[in-house]
Amino acid sequence: MDFPIIGVIGGGQLARMMAPAATALGFELRVLAEGPDASAVPAVANATIGDYRDLQVLTDFAAGVDVVTFDHEHVPGEHLLALVEKGINVRPGPDALIHAQDKLVMRAAVERLGLPNPRWAEVSTVEELISFGNSAGWPVVLKTPRGGYDGKGVRVLDGAGAAGDCTDWFGTGPLLAEEKVPFRRELSALVARTPSGETVAWPVVESIQVRGVCDEVIAPAPDLDPAVAEAAAAAALRLASELGVTGVMAAELFETPGRGPGFLVNELAMRPHNSGHWTMDGSVTGQFEQHLRAVLDLPLGSTDLTGGAAVMKNVLGGENSDLFGSYPLALAAEPAAKVHTYGKSVRPGRKIGHVNAVGSADGVPALRRSAGRAAAIIRDGRDPLKEN
């Protein structure tokens, strides 16, 4: 049998990082990218430039591949349904993906499955928002159900006065209001599921966010109560199975000691996820390989750690635009660190790469220093340890 062709909608860093995994297993990866400068374009032999909101573009792209999957969650659900009706393998399918596209749909599903949500409500007017805040307690987190990422589409409201200032967000449809959860830290449970129903989970990780953007991930989450870790992984696996997910799914969680099973569900992503980048070097099977195996309905790979622990530090754009120019310093300073960059132009705060450090379970502080130092050198072009 011929090796399969996988089509990825979206040409960002997630599609880019699927490419080496596809090459290793002999699959062909094609991308439908937003533009010629997209991160994944130079990583694949066959890239189409086109608009993922155009059904004809999607249909033409899908016609040449065996399975369609995603780098992002923004493809309109009705277009995906149209592809499914034409007999195209869309993985994950639109019925699953809607839970990663629409936070109101996700909240309702989490509730239906009896899994732990923050207090929440669908609100369509400022009055409904204020009434939710008065009963659930302020502050309240107001979210646009669709289109948010990296904290965009999220507002924290301290009281009824701030809620009154949100009129600009109303009018385009209902919004999601949530209590502001007093969490200990953020966790992520990463799992994968095949169309046949095989599932696997990686260890639950701690994800450290700075200004709404993932900054660092520690795997496994240090000092996490084993019962909480087990319950969190079980919840993510159950969500994947019950929602019919195919591919990798991340359940972002809030750790809430003494409340519920010790965590609440924040949101779901149905694709490889920033909180899983550590698996590229820190797990027997990286999330990008696993995603491809899953969408092709192949047996899934071991999720064991290659060491006892792994740390991933994101590289966000800073002042330095000559990333390669910083490589000699970064690679010499931290020879055990694994550097990944995404071929993206540097803009302040933009995700342009990450660094993984893998080692023993008792060496997490050193792994954090090592990944952090290499990431800082790439971002700034100078070594933070050599500054006077």
- Using the 8-state DSSP alphabet, how is residue 320 labeled? -
We find the least distance from the C-beta atom of residue 266 to ligand ADP, in angstroms, to be: 5
* Terminal alpha carbon distance of the chain: 62
| CA atoms within a 13 Å half-sphere pointing along the CA-CB vector of 203 | 26
We find the least distance from the C-beta atom of residue 341 to ligand ADP, in angstroms, to be: 22
Q: Of 178 and 289, which has the nearer Cβ to ligand ADP?
A: 178
Q: Of 34 and 255, which has the nearer Cβ to ligand ADP?
A: 255
Q: Of 210 and 284, which has the nearer Cβ to ligand ADP?
A: 210
Nearest to 378 by CA among 344, 311, 310, 328: 328
Q: Number of helices (H) and strands (E), helices first, in the chain?
A: 12, 17
Q: Of 178 and 281, which has the nearer Cβ to ligand ADP?
A: 178
We find the least distance from the C-beta atom of residue 268 to ligand ADP, in angstroms, to be: 10
Within the chain, strands assigned E span 5-9, 28-33, 46-49, 67-70, 120-123, 140-143, 154-157, 175-179, 185-193, 199-201, 205-210, 213-219, 247-255, 263-269, 309-316, 338-341, 351-359
Q: Of 118 and 286, which has the nearer Cβ to ligand ADP?
A: 118
Residue 176: how many other CB atoms lie within 10 Å: 23
We find the least distance from the C-beta atom of residue 261 to ligand ADP, in angstroms, to be: 17
Binding site for ligand ADP (CB under 6 A): 118, 141, 143, 148-154, 178, 180-181, 186, 209, 212, 252, 266-267
Q: How far is CA 189 from the centre of its chain?
A: 11
What distances in angstroms separate CA 134 from CA 32, 168, 290, one per listed residue? 46, 21, 45
We find the least distance from the C-beta atom of residue 370 to ligand ADP, in angstroms, to be: 25
Q: Of 252 and 334, which has the nearer Cβ to ligand ADP?
A: 252
- Burial (CB < 10 A; 0-12, 13-18, 19+), residue 150, is middle
Q: Of 246 and 266, which has the nearer Cβ to ligand ADP?
A: 266
We find the least distance from the C-beta atom of residue 351 to ligand ADP, in angstroms, to be: 12
Q: Of 188 and 326, which has the nearer Cβ to ligand ADP?
A: 188
We find the least distance from the C-beta atom of residue 269 to ligand ADP, in angstroms, to be: 8
Distance, in Å, from the CA atom of 108 to the CA atom of 8, rounded to the nearest integer, reads 29
Q: If DSSP codes are grouped into helix, strand and coil, which group holds residue 30?
A: strand
We find the least distance from the C-beta atom of residue 209 to ligand ADP, in angstroms, to be: 5
We find the least distance from the C-beta atom of residue 73 to ligand ADP, in angstroms, to be: 10
What distances in angstroms separate CA 226 from CA 229, 254, 261, 273, 276, one per listed residue? 5, 16, 12, 23, 20
The DSSP bridge partners found for residue 157 are 140
Distance, in Å, from the CA atom of 153 to the CA atom of 170, rounded to the nearest integer, reads 12
Q: Of 181 and 300, which has the nearer Cβ to ligand ADP?
A: 181
Cis check: omega of the bond before 139, within 30 degrees of 0: yes
